[in-house]
Amino acid sequence: MVKIAVTSDNHLDLNKVTLADTIKQQATFLQDQGVDDYLIAGDLFNDFQKSVDYVQQLSAAVDPIRVFFIAGNHDMIKGVSYDELENGQWPGYLNNQFFDVPQTDYRIIGMNGWYDYTFAVNEDKTEDEFHRWKMAYWIDGLISQPMSDPEREQIVLSELTQQLQNAQSAGKKVILMTHFVPNQHFIHYTNDFRFWNMANAMMGSLHFQKLIENYQVERVVFGHIHQRLVPIRLKATTYYNAAVGYHNHRHNEWQTNDFISEWAKQLKMFQIF
């Protein structure tokens, strides 16, 4: 039996946590819970190098617990290039990589993910119009990339297809870790707040969802949205979102008063055999 814990959207810088104390408290909690693998589905810092450093420190503190992470859009803002995100080999970094969990028939596949505007089904906009809105209003406008958003998502889809085909050929059950929203079920549409209908374009991709469904991925871990969600099974897949979210003077999404309590409350855990 292997116990897996998942988290996302810790936003350690925006939440102004004391890093050394937080790492110590997280390590103690994970060890006390008997966790074997800890998955972080993106958005640790607004600086990728700080995210890498944090994961290295946490990994040392929790050893022999294995720590894996991918990049969220916030991690991508600073300290990393597109090519580095695609091909980087930092310890624990799992984008377009996999880890076969020992003594099980499970494979953890990591995929940062992206978006192609297809979740914005109630906005009749062109690709250029979505892109201009993103650059004006969305934090991802700070992220450097050498292609359009639909082109970037097409690369993600090709990579995911190959990873799922390989897992299928190897007879592996899949735990997919991604940052962006993997199913339209989690998208909020509104008639009275147009901002979010436009922002839905930057949430994920209907085509990514279709791949998950076609390959009957068993479990998907994701972040990006800061809702308080219980695990839910949709078709053949169970989805886990463990976002901690923001606690500051502008946004307070927490249900508790301190980071460790909120992180532990939001943490999702499951066992595999």
Q: How many domains does the chain have?
A: 1
Q: How far is CA 241 from CA 50, 90, 122, 172, in A?
A: 23, 24, 25, 23
Element (H, E) at 164: helix 149-169
Task: Report the percentage of the chain scoring pLDDT > 90.
Answer: 97
Q: By residue range, what is the domain housing residue 151?
A: 2-272
pTM tops 0.75: yes
Residue-wise DSSP of 41-61: -S-S-SSHHHHHHHHHHHHHH
Q: What's the full length of the chain, in residues?
A: 273
Q: Which residues contact 252 (CB under 8 A, 6 or more apart)?
A: 246
Q: How far apart are the C-alpha atoms of 129 and 165, rounded to whole Å? A: 35
Which of 210-214, 217-221, 249-253, 268-272 is least confident?
249-253
Six-digit token string for 30 = 């994970």
What is the mean predicted confidence (pLDDT) over 177-201?
93
Average pLDDT over residues 62-68: 98
**pLDDT single digits (tens) 87-111:** 999 999 999 999 999 999 999 999 9
CA 131 to chain centroid, in Å, comes to 22
Number of alpha carbons in the 13 Å side-chain half-sphere of residue 112: 24
Return the structure tokens found at 6.
Answer: 């998942």
Looking up residue 260, the CATH number of its domain turns out to be 3.60.21.10
Read off the pLDDT band of 193 (50, 70, 90): low
How many Cβ atoms from other residues are within 10 Å of residue 157's Cβ?
Answer: 19
